[in-house]
Structure 1
Amino acid sequence: MHPPDAYERITALLTARPDAYRIIRHPPEGSTEAASALRDHPLEQAAKSLVVRVATGKRSRRYVLAVVPGDRRVDLTALAARYGGRAANFAERTVAERLTRSVSGSIAPFAFSRELDLLVDDGLLVHDEIYFNAGRLDLSVALAVPDYLEVAMPAVAPIAAPVAA
């Protein structure tokens, strides 16, 4: 038997909250902008989830699942500072996919690995509901923010910056 993938884990977490979420089926899409259009919601309600490698010492590092509003970008400098790191960069695709059990473009805002810290930008949490790919490119979830916070238990900090023009 294979270990559960991200979609199976997410649905297992949310089954106790049937009124808090909706599954949205759509054509396969990994771009935050395009997926938001398919799901028919404002881009700022999309939970864009990216795995970041923070260099915390000469030979030490920490992986962080950074979640920001879809219309913003991860502020790598702020993220490195939050962890007392020297630098932060996006993790290699193979590492991100291994840690999240998801293909790139479908990473959900949940940390299922002990090697991965979950850090969410406070600007995403001002909405009643957030949207995200559910570990698959063809399925998304709309989830009430209070329920997301209770289930995911993320750390929250200002880690987003405007997208450069």
Structure 2
Amino acid sequence: MIGDELTTTTPYDRLIADLDAAGARYRLIDHAPEGQTELVSALRGHDVSQAAKCLIVMVKVGKKQTRHVLAVVPGDARLDLQAVKALLDGTYVAFAGKDKAEELAGSVSGTVLPFSYDPRLELVADPSLLGRPELYFNAARLDRSIALATEDYVRLAAPRIAPIAATGEALCR
């Protein structure tokens, strides 16, 4: 996991410092403020399938344990909640509430990074996301995005790779 130390004040500053320290290949893209994947992909000038859509999910495991997952899927895909539930041997799954999601992500809705800086947030990425040379995502800001080399994303974020994108009847948001 990158960035174990808390030396910067914002998630954006922390991410940039971590990327620079690790020698990651990335570029910044400034654009009008936007948090919806389809709209911001158009502003950035790339196919929506290259966007890293980040969703925070709550999974109940039994009656007493709750886990949270930062699920990352291609921008043109939907998240298969049942796949996330099965992956964690859960008994119940739902999207996390906005307040909890923003607390765990450290940024507002629409700017969630595909990196987890909170030990309570398990990072899971769909393998279909990793077939492109670059991933695009909002940089914990509505007005700036990052295009990051996919190899560097996998190396630095170290996500658990599992099929969590919905297909066919499993479509859900």
> Which interval holds the TM-score relative to the shorter structure?
over 0.9
Residue 104 (structure 2) aligns with: 99
The count of residues paired between Structure 1 and Structure 2 equals 164
1:145 to 144, 150, 164: 150
Judging changes above 3 Å, is the alpha-carbon distance between structure 1 residues 21 and 3 closer, same or farther for their aligned structure 2 residues? Answer: closer
Query: Does 2:118 match 1:113?
Result: yes
Which of 139, 158, 169 is equivalent to 1:134?
A: 139
Amino acid at match of 2:42: A
Counterpart Cα distance in 2 of 1:113 and 1:58: 23
Out of 14, 17, 21, the residue aligned to residue 26 of structure 2 is 21
Supply the AA of the counterpart residue of 2:54: S
Measured after TM superposition, the shift of residue 9 of structure 1 is 1.4
Give the superposition deviation at 1:48: 0.2
**Match of 2:3?**
none
Segments ≥4 residues shifted beyond 4 Å? none
Alignment of 1:68-107 (within 5 A): 68-107=73-112
CA distance, structure 1, for counterparts of residue 88 and residue 97 of structure 2: 19
| Counterpart among 19, 40, 48 of residue 43 in structure 1 | 48
Indicate if the aligned counterparts of 2:60 and 2:90 stay in contact, CA closer than 8 A: yes
Which amino acid in 2 is paired with 1:114? P
- 1:111 Cα deviation after fit: 0.2
Cα offsets for 1:112-153 (capped at 9, x unmatched) = 001000000000000000000011111100000110011111
Structure 2 residue 163 is the aligned partner of structure 1 residue 158? yes
Deviates more, 1:154-163 or 1:120-129: 154-163
SS in 2 for 1:67: strand
| Counterparts of 1:131 and 1:38, CA distance in 2 | 11
Measure, in 2, the Cα distance between the counterparts of 1:91 and 1:151: 25
- 1:31-87: per-residue Cα shift (whole Å, max 9, x none)? 000000000001110000011000111121100000000000110000000000012
Gap change, CA 1:17 and 1:38, over 3 Å in 2: farther
Rounded Cα–Cα distance in structure 1 between residues aligned with 2:42 and 2:48: 8
TM-score w.r.t. structure 1 length? Answer: 0.94
Question: What is the alpha-carbon distance in structure 2 between the residues aligned to residue 99 and residue 147 of structure 1?
Answer: 23
Which whole-Å CA distance do the structure 1 matches of 2:145 and 2:15 have between them? 11
1:123 aligns with 2:123: no
Aligned-residue CA RMSD (Å):
1.7
